[in-house]
Chains A and B, each alone.
Chain A
Amino acid sequence: MEEKDLVILCIEGNRSAQSELVFAFAPRLLSLIKRYQPRSLSPEDILQEVFIEIFRDLKSYSPEKGALYSWMKTIAIRLTLKKRRLDQSWLADRTVSIVHSGAVIELDQIFNKMNTDDIMKMIISLPDGYREVFNLVAVEGYTHEECASLLHIAIGTSRSTLSRARQILKEQYAQMKIY
């Protein structure tokens, strides 16, 4: 079944089509949410809310705007970040051990050599604020302006945070190599 037909059936309230949509996209969206996952909330709970929001707003989806998954991903990211802001504990400090390797290595080169699970682990291990900026700008491709707007921070802060996140990831990689 094509995406367009699936969407129409879902809007009409067809349970079979709705379940098909959930089965097709839930694991991918869960992976996405886990990358942004706030530690105090279960990612499955957020995914539930994401799908309810998706089914509620499905009427506003238009194939001309892009692929269905991209539209769903936008909702998932926005909702996850919203949940994040509601959770006070995200302000808690997190100690990061940093070991400087001294080597100048491009992060893209590092990640391309690594398997996906290891990349996920490294990204999730980032401090909350760094992880969000890194996910939005480096992974999803948002601009610093969009990122700053979503996270309610200054554009300069977004830039410096991304730079710092890259630095931390590189150092983590070096640490993995050392030990």
Chain B
Amino acid sequence: MENHKDWRERLDQNEAPMDTGKFWDSIESKIPDAQADKKKRRFFFWLLVFLLGSGVTVGGIIFMKTQNKTTDLAAITLQKPDISAINEKENSLNKSENGESEKLEASSAEKITSNNTSVASLNHKRSDQNLQNQTNYSTKNKSIPIPKSDIAKPGEVMQDTQNANSTYAENDIKHKAITPTLENTLNTDSEYQNTLMSSEKSSSGIYSESLDYLPARASELASKPNWSLGSMPTFDNIQKIKTKNSGWQYWMDLSYGLGMAQNSLSTSDPIIQSYLDNRAMHESKLESRMAVWENKLVHPSGFYVSTGLRYQSRITRFDWSREETKLEWKLADGFVEDAQGNQIAIRDSAWQQYRELREIRQHNTISTLDIPLNLGYIMRKKPILT
């Protein structure tokens, strides 16, 4: 038993003569550098952190900017009619119980007209059909006749011609409602839109995207054509529509697919290349399957973030066989008996032919299950309305 181990141990401990120093020189540069790998991994980690941070920051800035736009739009539309001037006028009317009120009325109306040309021009359109030759403005049961040309602007918005001659006291509520703010001085939706457009353009910041929401409002108004306190769309409504569209939108995709891919293998070693050529020929068709479940949050600005679950599998098949015929010189020994019964050793030899079949059948399946995190940007002209 000891002898049995001996030759194996000797073989195992046998050292082949070689120039170890030269060998070390040849492999030193090829040994993977652990420190470099660490640095590489660290670099990719911080790159990922940087990209994620940038994505979140950019997304946040865009979100904040969009929010500011909404506020600005509301501010612009509310500021367009000079409400302070109108209030001043109303106060003046309330206070005036003498003839001087007529002059105040007229001067206030002129002030409004000069402050807002768009409102004035629209008022002018309607003044011909709505106003009577003379309109009575009353303050506390006292009717004050005012010339048509002087009071056309604030009074014209009252389409209810039946109340045109009523006293101020009777129409107190309506009068407040019909003070010439942007919304109640306009007769049609198109006028409203035109005015809003001109208002925005005349302001320092032009928010063209706000115009995209007007059709939505127009359809809402179509069902409520009459001006009234209850049905009148307010600026709050507009802001609501705007806010609704500026929020994140949620999408979910579920997909499954089959695919084919072309396989290409190459090497600088000519011996290995012959093997790879053979392999590439048999592996030319790769099967791949993929199923994705993805949740996507899209911001109206076009930026989106998505994540979910993705399953991928790729199957490579390598079916190769090679058959070879080999010849081997075989010797055989045996014994035959002669006539006297003696055994005679004989030796026979012959070529022995045999076939050798070598087969390689490899079916490799690579499956991955991962959680993708995508940050991207969708290019489109207008935000999607919900």
Contacts and interface: CB of A to CB of B under 8 A. Distances in A.
Interface of A: 11-13, 15, 18-19, 22-23, 26-28, 30-32, 34-35, 40-41, 43-44, 47-48, 51-52, 55-56, 86-89, 91, 93, 95-100, 102, 108-109, 111-112, 114, 116, 119-120, 123, 139, 141, 152
Given A19-B28, A91-B324, A152 B360 contact: yes
Contacts of B330: 98
Contact of A12 (B28, B31, B34, B275): B34
A48 B30 contact: yes
A95 B274 CA distance: 25
A23 B360 contact: no
B333 interface: yes
A31 B16 contact: yes
Nearest to A98: B331
Given A19-B24, A22-B23, A88 B274 contact: yes
Contact of A111 (B7, B33, B327): B7
A52 B145 CA distance: 106
B7 A41 contact: no
B275 A51 contact: no
Q: Please classify how large the interface on chain B is, using the bins under 10, 10 to 19, 20 to 34, 35 or more.
A: 35 or more
Contact of A51 (B8, B11, B31): B31
A28 B31 contact: no
A47 B23 CA distance: 9
A41 B356 CA distance: 24
A40 B244 CA distance: 73
Interface of B: 3-4, 6-8, 10-18, 20, 23-24, 26-28, 30-35, 271-272, 274-275, 322, 324, 326-333, 345, 347, 356, 358, 360
A48 B271 contact: no
A13 B4 contact: no
A27 B15 contact: yes
A50 to B, nearest CB: 10
A52 B33 CA distance: 11
Contact of A30 (B16, B274, B328): B16
A60 to B, nearest CB: 14
Contacts of B30: 48, 52
A88 B320 CA distance: 12
15 contacts: A18-B28, A30-B15, A30-B16, A30-B18, A31-B11, A43-B16, A48-B23, A93-B327, A99-B331, A100-B332, A108-B4, A108-B7, A111-B7, A116-B14, A123-B11
